[in-house]
Structure 1
Amino acid sequence: MNLPTPFRRRRQAVCAAIALAFLAAQSGYGHAESTYPDKPVRLVVAYAAGGLTDILARALAQGLSQRLGQPVVVENRSGAGGIIGTSMVAKAPADGYTLLLSTPAPITANIALYKNLPYDPRTDLRPVSDIAMARTVLAVNPSVPAKTVAELIAYGKKSPGKLRMGSWGPGTVPHTIQTYMAKTYGIDILHVPYKGESPMTTDLLAGQINVTVGTVTTLQPYFASGKLRPLAVTGPHRAKRLPNVPTFAEAGYADPAYQVVSPMTLLAPAKTPQAIVDRLGKEVSKLVNSEPLNAQIEGMGAEPIGNLPNQADATYKALLPVVLKLTADTGVTLD
């Protein structure tokens, strides 16, 4: 259709303005990526200070600050089994300035545990790198007369209500195993949730709770002194830091619930630009696989990983259905 000259000119002007606006936006977007980061980065931990996640986050933040040339500040946002901190990051601006260091539960088991989860980790978050594999150990206060898994189960059956298992929140490894053990062996174990592993350990030492499945990092120092007693480690092989403690399988319990080990993962909001995710992933991978932090992580009783974003994403997609099935099999829901 032939438009009158004034209309043609007006349409051309509008099209030109739209094109210029688009190019300006794209230019600004690319500039933002190329200058990232130009201000401090916030690293959120969804648990209280003092536990493995917090300790690892602070070690990671220190090294990452040096590599990025900007401060990386750890912020603890604990509560609701990791939901509060995880939800905050999922809803944060997708610009690379708010990141999450997560344990497995908030991004896996919580999907099955909560019908009204305020975020969906599958669509609201994206993995940047798996930092380390945290090893966990079944441990008891010495007041519990058990030196093996079998003796613990026998004690639980003989003394209903005497076992009080602490966790660092609903849906975490100790809560899942507590529920599994109670259901499978018909023993009465009370679940006592905390806002982090550090306050849980304080009460375990004091006898307020008397059993847990905690990280090797946090509990190991109390084994040699006899303040706590290790019974078995989760996973397919023994923990390097506890070479004399058998796996659940070696103790005669090869159930899948005791075999799964999951990474602690660095995540960003889902729509964070690929260039920023790649930059972060590359820097984190180099950092974790460098001698100082690698040795530091092993010293914590964890196993360093430091993979790239596509590898972390593949690991998450492979792990998720396994954890969801194990969680669903417990029959537990929390809302």
Structure 2
Amino acid sequence: MQRRHLLAGLGALALPAAQRAARAQGWAPDKPLRLIVGFAAGGSTDLTARLVAQALGERLGQPVVVENRPGAGGNIAAEATARAAPDGYTIHLVTSGVMAANKALYRSLPFDPLKDFAPVGQVAFIPNLIVVNPELPVRNPAELIAYAKARPGQVNYGSAGAGTSLHMAAALFAARAGVEMVHIPYRGGAPAATDLIAGKIQMIASPMIEVLGAVKAGQLRAIAVTTAKRSPALPEVPTVAETLPGFEIALWNGLGAPAGTPPAAIQRISAELLTALGDPTTRQKLTEQGSEPAPNTPEQFADFIRTELPRWAEIVKISGASVD
């Protein structure tokens, strides 16, 4: 996590130079851009995408239209982006799943995360929040583990689908805790949260943005965050690592473009993204969603993605999750 914060800081420091270079090269869009999102409207990825699209549109002088293409853990949208014309007018809100975890989860991918994408810049880190129905008599990870150990195979956890971050985080938690839980996949995080509130399942490990409102309303109880450090949005909620040392799942997202996109376009969009993420209003909105802004340059984002591939491969291996 320290390295990630360092990269974010370096990206912010590089902003003026990146802006000057991008504008000196003269790329300026003369029609709307599209921002492809691999998940349904209303979810955490979509909400972040719409915030980024608005901020970029204001700075580029052209609308940035969000296009949702859900399915296959984001792979459908990623393939569409990889095959799009590399002209600067198509960008993608890439995620840790699409760019790192899915390569280990799926037997084959219709795209290569390193070869088919041109990194633009990271947007944020997103903690998963382990939440339970308030009727469940547990208030922290230790109590949840004890409860599950006493009831092997009787605790059901929901996810947004096989191989999604919700699935991975909960599966890794169960594996590290040595408990037997049952995975119930849904078609998205929202229906899983709805069934959790209704008491039809017992737990989910959701991106914080999707359940923070329900936690604050008392509809769900927050048990732990999956990042190495506690979240400023819920500082009273412990990390899983406080009970299971070394446990960490830090989701992330950013912008990517089809490989071959003109460098001038990449640099201009990157510069405006850095400007947007340095804006106090944008940063506050991301923080309120439970995200941690993490701006960096295209080069730094490319290096980061390369380091994340083996890390997520190990997470997939430990969790035992797989998708045909």
Same fold by TM-score, threshold 0.5 exceeded? yes
Match of 1:149 among 141, 144, 147: 141
Is contact 1:137–1:213 with CA below 8 Å preserved after alignment? Answer: yes
Letter of the structure 1 residue corresponding to residue 48 of structure 2: L
Regions of 4+ moved over 4 Å: none
2:299 is aligned to 310
Structure 1 match to 2:40: 48
Distance 2:269 2:110 in 1: 26
Matched position secondary structure for 2:217 = coil
Shift of 1:35: 4.9
Q: Distance in 1 between matches of 2:147 and 2:161?
A: 25
1:149-168 superposed matches below 5 A: 149-168=141-160
**Cα distance in 2, alignment partners of residues 35 and 277 from structure 1:** 9
Q: Does 1:253 align with 2:244?
A: yes
**How has the CA–CA distance of structure 1 residues 169 and 34 changed in structure 2, closer, same or farther, with 3 Å as cutoff?**
farther
Counterpart pick for 1:226 among 218, 222, 228: 218
Deviations 1:121-148 (A, max 9, x none): 1111122111111122111112322112
Residues 81-230 of structure 1 mapped to structure 2, 5 A cutoff: 81-230=73-222
Ranges in structure 2 where 5+ consecutive residues have no aligned partner: 1-24
Q: What is the SS of the residue equivalent to 1:121?
A: coil
Query: Which has the higher relative contact order, 1 or 2, with Cα contacts under 8 A spaced 6 or more apart?
Result: 2
Paired positions, count: 300
Distance 1:132 1:183 in 2: 27
Q: 1:217 to 1:330 in 2, by over 3 A?
A: closer
Q: Is the 8 A contact 2:163 2:321 kept in 1?
A: no
CA contact (8 A) 1:140 1:228 kept: yes
Match of 2:6 in 1: none
Cα displacement string for residues 18-72 of structure 1 (whole angstroms, at most 9, x for unaligned residues): xxxxxxxxxxxxxxx8454121111111111112211111111111111111110
Q: Who is 1:279 aligned against?
A: 268
TM-superposed deviation, 1:185? 4.1
The aligned counterpart of 1:269 is: 258
Aligned counterparts of 1:302 and 1:63: Cα–Cα separation in 2 = 16
The residue type equivalent to 1:305 in the other structure is A
Aligned partners of 2:32 and 2:89 also within 8 Å: yes
The structural deviation recorded for 1:209 is: 2.6
Structure 1 residue matching 2:114: 3-state secondary structure: helix
Percent identity, please. Answer: 40
Aligned mates of 2:184, 2:28 — CA distance in 1: 43
- The whole-number CA distance in structure 1 between the counterparts of 2:52 and 2:26 is 23
2:72 is the alignment partner of 1:80: yes
CA distance in 2: counterparts of 1:177 and 1:261, whole angstroms: 9
Distance between the aligned counterparts of 2:96 and 2:162, measured in 1?
Answer: 12
Report the Cα distance in structure 1 between the residues aligned to 2:267 and 2:187, rounded to whole angstroms. 32
> For residues 312 and 322 of structure 1, what CA distance do their matches in structure 2 show?
15
**Deviations along 1:193-246, whole A, 9 cap, x unmatched?**
334333332222222332111122221222233211111111121100101001
Query: What is the one-letter code of the residue matched to 1:175?
Result: H
Question: Shift in Å at residue 186 of structure 1?
Answer: 4.3
1:295 matched residue in structure 2: 284
What letter matches 1:219 in structure 2? V
- Give the superposition deviation at 1:102: 2.4
CA distance in 2, matches of 1:193, 1:96: 36
Letter in 1 for 2:296: N
Larger radius of gyration: 1
Gaps of 5+ in 1: 1-32
Normalised by the size of structure 1, how large is the TM-score? 0.84
SS of corresponding position for 2:124:
strand
State the alpha-carbon separation in 2 of the partners of residues 125 and 195 from structure 1. 27
Check whether the contact 1:80–1:195 (CA below 8 A) recurs between aligned residues: no
